[in-house]
Chains A and B, each alone.
Chain A
Amino acid sequence: MKKILQHLFLLFLVSGSLAAQEKIEIFGYFESQYMGTIVKSEYYQLFSNKLRFDLKSDLTENITFAANFDYITYHGKKEWNILDFLSPDIVSQVTPGMESFYVLPFSNRTFLDNAYIKLSLKHFDLTVGKQQISLGTGYVWNPMDVFNIKELVDPTYEQPGHNAIRLDVPVGNAYTLTALCSPDDTLKNSAKLIQFKGRISHFDYSLITLEKVWRYHDYTQFDFEKKNFLELPERRRLLGASTAGELFGMGLWAEFAYNWMESTDDFYELVIGTDYTFDFQTYFMVEYYRNTLGKTDHRQYSLNDWMRIFTAEQKTISRDQIYMFIQHPVTDLINLGLQSIYSISDHSLALVPVLNYSFSENIDIMVYLNLNIGKEGTVFSKDMGNGGMLRARIYF
């Protein structure tokens, strides 16, 4: 304990003059993005510019400080009314006069994405502050991760940081015990998790138990006091497991989580995925995802279901879906790929051709098209819009 206190004291002593230190590293990227889409015969476009600064400093041999600042500007169509994407049946559920409440704004933002200190001693790592929390082995969906929802078209895109205190205790060289607390308004409402990760033969395993208050909303009722839709906080307890390894030469991963809900129905999520690289360098991946919170027929989708998807409160609206990805390096600088997401429950399909071009050592260009092929009311309905995106990222 004395040693820990010494380290913490030293940290506070040094952090004040952090900027003046020579060993602080500053890097990051600038990202310019153009998105266009056709919705009901109208072509809309949205531009964004993102500047991200990463700071990292090893204050001592055992203490690291890291932070990220993001500044994002939006241009073009900065307000999107979700009702424009929905079928008349769903729109009719909206209380007359409240249509303007269903607008998603894209406002310029400046924020501290991550900022944490990490104390690494022989027997444990302690990380305090706003940090990335990545849980599970799934590529697109992570049943064990109640903190993040990945982007379907780019699941590797960075996630927002979460304020948390995290303790990682290695148990031998192959096992790790993790305890994490993400504070909320009260200790009781704070998210708490314990995870045990290990390795047996060529497979990684993990077991997790966590509790978190899930703050989703009822998008049919408005809370005029809070000037937002009515919040429906509900305690969620989760028990999950995951694995990743190899079977018959193919990559294999699986993730499962059962959720006990305080007042609504319990549900479970399951992911099974596999991948393979052929000798001619083509890479193929397929991932199946089931979420029993999702509906089995598109006629069961409600306004709340749609809104929770658009606001990233919920991972999916349909129960069963499958993601496929195939990519091939057509030259040493260009990768061509095709992502497809098929909803088994409502028989709709999204096709996302992707091109990645390594323009120079520190400049990447990504182009993708987004083609929704599904009948009205389905998750990948044509009404969701067909379009694409061009993204250029310059690292410094």
Chain B
Amino acid sequence: MKRLITGAFIVLLLAPVAFSQELTADEIIQKLNDQINTETSYGKSKMTIVTTSGQKRTFIQESWSKDRGEKNLVRYLEPSRVKDQAVLMLNHADDIWMFFPRTQRVRKLATHAKKQKMQGSDFSYEDMGSGDAFIDDFTSTRLEDEQKKEQDCYKLELTRKQESSSSYSRLVMWVIKENFLPVVIEYYDDNDPTSLLKTMVASDFRVIDGIPTSMKVVMFNQNDNTQTEMELLEVKFNIPLTDDMFTERSLKK
């Protein structure tokens, strides 16, 4: 689901862009896409999973992104159980490799793995992917504007394109008019467009390096009654990163 949550959280940017009430759905999605995909980024984030039994599981991870989200590398720092495990995603997460440090083995994953939960969280690899998924995988329709989380928002419905491999049949999204960042996204079942699977809520909007950013995202899983919070601890945008950073060699470091 886009690079909404690159590597560990949400990298949502926005420049004060003049907009018009007459914007079409495609124009809104394009502006959102332009905002959330910086040329490069680095982030350190904390992921907290609240399990069905109410226990909390915390992960700390670093992530790097390049070419407006086309390349992503995620490396886990904590807990010890997953320390130094890493995931490399290229071509908008169409190519995924996982590195397991204890065996020094790199395993190539097919795109169906994007459906799997990342470290048992409510985010799938698809959610953590990046790039132009909102545009490439979905057709957008503008619905009536609404207030959401005390923000004036555009409301959009994104319907999966026939050729798309997305796990979601449709999305309903509230995009803040002021900064074109999504504040709420609803994800609907692959086979039943009326069945709500998950809801993502973004908050704590700040401007980092001149780029509007959501520092916290919570994914609520309606089916499992669980939730996962992604909190950005550190972020840098448009830093120098070379393609060498996004190779198997770098994955194993």
Q: Does A245 contact B (CB under 8 A)?
A: yes
Does B103 contact A279, Cβ atoms closer than 8 Å? no
Does A332 contact B115, Cβ atoms closer than 8 Å? no
Tell me the dominant secondary structure on chain A's binding face.
Answer: strand
Scan residues 159-193 of chain B and give those whose CB is less than 8 A from a CB of chain A.
165, 167, 190-191
Does A281 contact B110, Cβ atoms closer than 8 Å? no
Q: Does A318 contact B (CB under 8 A)?
A: no
B49: chain A residues at CB < 8 Å are 332
CB distance from B52 to the nearest CB of A (A): 6
Does A158 contact B108, Cβ atoms closer than 8 Å? no
Once A134-B105, A244-B108, A395-B79 are accepted as A-B contacts, the answer to whether A202 and B51 lie under 8 Å apart by CB is: no
Q: Does B234 contact A (CB under 8 A)?
A: no
Task: Name A245's closest neighbour in chain B (CB-CB).
Answer: B108
Mark each residue of chain B from 224 to 253: 1 if its CB lies under 8 Å from any CB of chain A, else 0. Answer: 101000000000000000011011110001
- Which of A125, A244, A250 has a CB less than 8 Å from the CB of B249? A125
CB distance from A251 to the nearest CB of B (A): 3
Q: Does A132 contact B (CB under 8 A)?
A: yes
Does A158 contact B102, Cβ atoms closer than 8 Å? yes
Scan residues 169-227 of chain B and give those whose CB is less than 8 A from a CB of chain A.
190-191, 224, 226
Between A and B, how many residue pairs show CB distances below 8 Å? 108
Q: Which range holds the interface residue count of chain B?
A: 35 or more
A interface size (C-beta, 8 A): 50
Mark each residue of chain A from 267 to 289: 1 if its CB lies under 8 Å from any CB of chain B, else 0. Answer: 00000000111110101000000
CB distance from B191 to the nearest CB of A (A): 7
Q: Does A84 contact B (CB under 8 A)?
A: no
Does B51 contact A251, Cβ atoms closer than 8 Å? no
Once A125-B249, A132-B103 are accepted as A-B contacts, the answer to whether A27 and B83 lie under 8 Å apart by CB is: yes
Query: Residues of A with Cβ closer than 8 Å to B?
Result: 27-29, 56, 64, 120, 125, 131-134, 137, 156, 158-159, 168, 170, 173-174, 176, 197, 199, 202, 204, 244-246, 249-253, 275-279, 281, 283, 329, 331-333, 358, 360-362, 364, 395-396
Can you list 12 A-B contacts with CB-CB less than 8 angstroms, sorted by A residue number?
Answer: A27-B83, A133-B104, A173-B247, A199-B95, A283-B116, A331-B52, A333-B52, A358-B57, A358-B120, A360-B55, A361-B57, A395-B79
Which 10 pairs show the lowest CB-CB distances between chains A and B?
A251-B110, A132-B104, A395-B80, A246-B110, A244-B108, A134-B105, A395-B81, A277-B112, A279-B190, A158-B102
